[in-house]
Amino acid sequence: MKSCMPARVFLLALLAALPCASQPTNQPATPAKPEPQTPQPAAAPATQPGGQVIFERSIDENGKTTTKATQAGETSAQMVGAPSLEDADREAIAFASIDLDAHLQTAGQQLAVRALITVRNAGKTPLPRIPLQISSTLNWERIRVDGHDVTFPVATLTSDADHTGQLHEAAVPLAEPLNPGATRQLDVTYSGTIAASAQRLITVGTPRDAALHSDWDQISPAFTGLRGFGNVVWYPVSSVPVILGDGSRLFDEIGRQKLRLSDAAFRLRLTVEFPHAEVPSIAVVNGHPIALAVSDPQNLNADVAGSATASLEAYTLGFESPSLFVAVRSVHPGANVTACASPEDEVSVKTWISAAANVSSFIERWLGPKPRQQTTLLDLPDPDDVPWETGPLLVVSLRASPPEQISGVLAHALTHAWMAPRPFWLNEGAANFMGVVWTERHQGREAAVASLEAGRAALALGEPASPSDGPGQPLAAAISPVYYRTKAAYVLMMLRDVVGEDALGAAMREFNAVQNSIPGGPPPGNAATAGAFEQELRKAAPNADLSWLFSDWIDADRGLPDLTIDKVFPNAVQSGNWLVTVNVSNTGYAAAEVPVMVRSANHTTAERLLVPARGSAVKRLLIQGKPIEVQVNDGIVPETQASVHLMKLGQAGPSEQGPNPSSAPAPPQ
């Protein structure tokens, strides 16, 4: 590729191997996993093996961009003043496959993409148009349906799913409506620039500096980071417009998009143009490193860019937003981790690698001797940038930090490299769970419970108050992080208390070994893998009653329990012993097994009590010395109002003092 100054010509040469022919219209989608399409020519004349240029972009000295199409004439996009599609149309579109040929020109912050996408009508009525959206700094240039160019309107849509706060939405017309269950293949081309933008956060009052440290997505020579839907929409999507500040709608829509893409086949071919002085050394797609083939002829004119190519063959995407990272970093291999550091963090990266080795031995005891894949640590450009993760990739500043802080972060991140990707709630929940257990090991039970409590209020707010308020989000179909991360971690902590640490560890190790041994990975869908995990738990703890936990906490969402200490009856028996009867009620719709503790001046006794939904239960405990306090729950079981309940027993006896429950959380003893 040649370039000259002041004008730089940016060419997108698309390989002949990229399929272009459309599938037959209005055929029901088959349940089989989508396969890469057989390569077909885009038009009647066959393309040459070397590829074919379908458009050419020039940028003059004033920064003005012009596009010249070589086959289809002028762009078929027509900007209109207002969106013409309804949310029902956007919600009906599901993606069966996404096949991308992407070209980055890092010096100009440019992205050009040709995409072959297969969409399915997941709705109940025929669709005369297909909605497609990309970031507002990218422009639709050409869309082909059934091998023919179509003219389509493009509207600017307000949505904080992109860091600019806007999307460009194309309404692609169809010659025949897309029937429910049917699929259609589209060949689309789009391009533009992706620079750092924090417009959506600044609009809601976030200080500019803080906003840019959160929305750091951009294309640049040293670091390109495109995190996907929810940050920057660099690939085609069909989504409902959402804005920050509207409750959890943005985060729910991010999860909904992940769920709708989880069974899609994803493929990428990548070309990167870069300045000679900044040769990329690492490329990561959807959390997985891919090898870069670099061509950087130093004997050519400095204006001629170097190039690098890479590819990711088709695979089932899973519960992830498609993401792309390309960076100039030095690579440091370690135990189960590869750290990619910027020059200023070359020294401190050794601390991260050492911590990874230490944490790995801890995770092995829970999840097995070997991870499914290496964890990649990618150094952020600025030490104040907000970390981000997807699958086995953690994008974080590798600056010097206290070892205990680094270890806590890695306990979470490394778990993703061990855990089977399905069910999603178990993968995400296990990472949070391992972080909490690590905290408990090194900082104590109180610190571990406090880390869980930090997310309980949001969980309680999101849960339905009763079944009549809606089905909530069962973990197998959860789309909100407060469920598939926070609630899932709570569930695993509860399981540890119910079946014991040894049994839970054995079940997780065996489940992981079986799922990771399946050729091609676990099958699509959450139900089968969730059932496999339950089977392993029952084998590891055959005498434990788990029916209530799966029924109320995993397979369905019945909200949270709401416990109360109703009455306490202490009775002196003999030899200084007291028999204490504790009555506990539950006004919630989910059952809960919680510890009941009785304390005297010098002793504490505890037993577990299963309190049914909308019911009550009684526990009798024997303790040495006169009881002075009763506690129900220790913070491990999340409740609507509080997760620790205390009742002080007065010197005159409870019959005179009466119950004195406290709903304020207290540290567990």
Q: What domains are defined for the chain?
A: 8-325 (2.60.40.1730), 424-554 (1.10.390.10), 563-662 (2.60.40)
Instruction: Using pLDDT thresholds of 50, 70 and 90, give the confidence band for residue 96.
Output: very high
Give residue-wise pLDDT tens across range 180-198: 999 999 999 999 999 999 9
pLDDT tops 80 at residue 311: yes
Give residue-wise pLDDT tens across range 365-374: 999 999 999 9
Higher pLDDT, 99 or 19: 99
- Neighbouring-strand partners of residue 588: none
pLDDT tops 60 at residue 118: yes
According to the model, what pLDDT value does residue 319 have? Answer: 92
pLDDT tops 70 at residue 301: no
pLDDT tops 90 at residue 348: yes
Q: Write the CA distances from 252 to 240, 259, 477, 559, 562, integer angstroms.
A: 11, 10, 12, 17, 25
Instruction: Using pLDDT thresholds of 50, 70 and 90, give the confidence band for residue 517.
Output: confident
> Which two structure tokens, joined as six digits, stand for 272?
């990167």
According to the model, what pLDDT value does residue 530 have? Answer: 67
Question: Percentage of the chain with pLDDT > 70?
Answer: 83
According to the model, what pLDDT value does residue 13 have? Answer: 35
CA distance 618 to 583: 5
CA distance 293 to 306: 11
Contact residues for 173 (Cβ-Cβ < 8 A; gap 6+): 128, 129, 150, 151, 152
Chain centroid, CA 442 distance in Å: 27
CA distance 466 to 559: 7
pLDDT tops 80 at residue 111: yes
pLDDT tops 50 at residue 40: no
Identity of the amino acid at 529: T
Nearest Cα neighbor of 453 from 438, 431, 436 is 436
Contact residues for 321 (Cβ-Cβ < 8 A; gap 6+): 227, 228, 229, 230, 231, 254, 257, 258, 261, 390
Quote the radius of gyration of the chain (alpha carbons, Å).
28
Instruction: Using pLDDT thresholds of 50, 70 and 90, give the confidence band for residue 299.
Output: low
pLDDT tops 60 at residue 252: yes
In DSSP notation, 613-637 reads TTEEEEEEEEEES---EEEE--SSS
Residue 92: in which H helix or E strand, if any? Answer: helix 87-92
What DSSP character marks residue 483? I
pLDDT tops 70 at residue 563: yes
CA distance 68 to 56: 5
Rounded to 5 degrees, what angle do the CA atoms 417, 423, 424 make? 65
Burial class (CB in 10 A: 0-12, 13-18, 19+), 653: exposed
pLDDT tops 60 at residue 340: yes
Under 8 Å between Cβ of 213 and 382:
yes
Residue 361: in which H helix or E strand, if any? Answer: helix 349-367
Give the residue-averaged pLDDT of 612-637.
Answer: 97
CA distance 344 to 298: 26
pLDDT tops 80 at residue 471: yes
Rounded to 5 degrees, what angle do the CA atoms 24, 30, 34 make? 85
pLDDT tops 80 at residue 44: no
Instruction: Using pLDDT thresholds of 50, 70 and 90, give the confidence band for residue 25.
Output: very low
Identity of the amino acid at 383: P
CA distance 39 to 392: 31
According to the model, what pLDDT value does residue 152 have? Answer: 97
According to the model, what pLDDT value does residue 19 have? Answer: 35
Instruction: Using pLDDT thresholds of 50, 70 and 90, give the confidence band for residue 525.
Output: low
pLDDT tops 80 at residue 12: no
According to the model, what pLDDT value does residue 669 have? Answer: 34
Give residue-wise pLDDT tens across range 60-86: 444 443 434 344 345 688 889 888 999
Identity of the amino acid at 480: S
Higher pLDDT, 156 or 422: 156
Question: Percentage of the chain with pLDDT > 90?
Answer: 74
Tell me the pLDDT of the chain averaged across its residues. 86
Nearest Cα neighbor of 597 from 646, 643, 649, 635 is 646
Under 8 Å between Cβ of 484 and 429:
yes
Helix and strand tally (H, E) in the chain? Answer: 14, 32
Contact residues for 499 (Cβ-Cβ < 8 A; gap 6+): 507, 537, 540, 541, 544, 546
According to the model, what pLDDT value does residue 650 have? Answer: 75
Nearest Cα neighbor of 456 from 431, 421, 432, 425 is 432
Burial class (CB in 10 A: 0-12, 13-18, 19+), 199: middle
Give the global pTM.
0.84
Phi/psi at 595 (nearest 5 deg)?
-75, 140
Burial class (CB in 10 A: 0-12, 13-18, 19+), 46: exposed
Least confident piece of the model among 63-77, 168-182, 193-207, 493-507:
63-77
According to the model, what pLDDT value does residue 298 have? Answer: 65
CA distance 669 to 652: 25
Chain centroid, CA 352 distance in Å: 23
pLDDT tops 90 at residue 521: no
CA distance 79 to 257: 26
According to the model, what pLDDT value does residue 611 have? Answer: 98
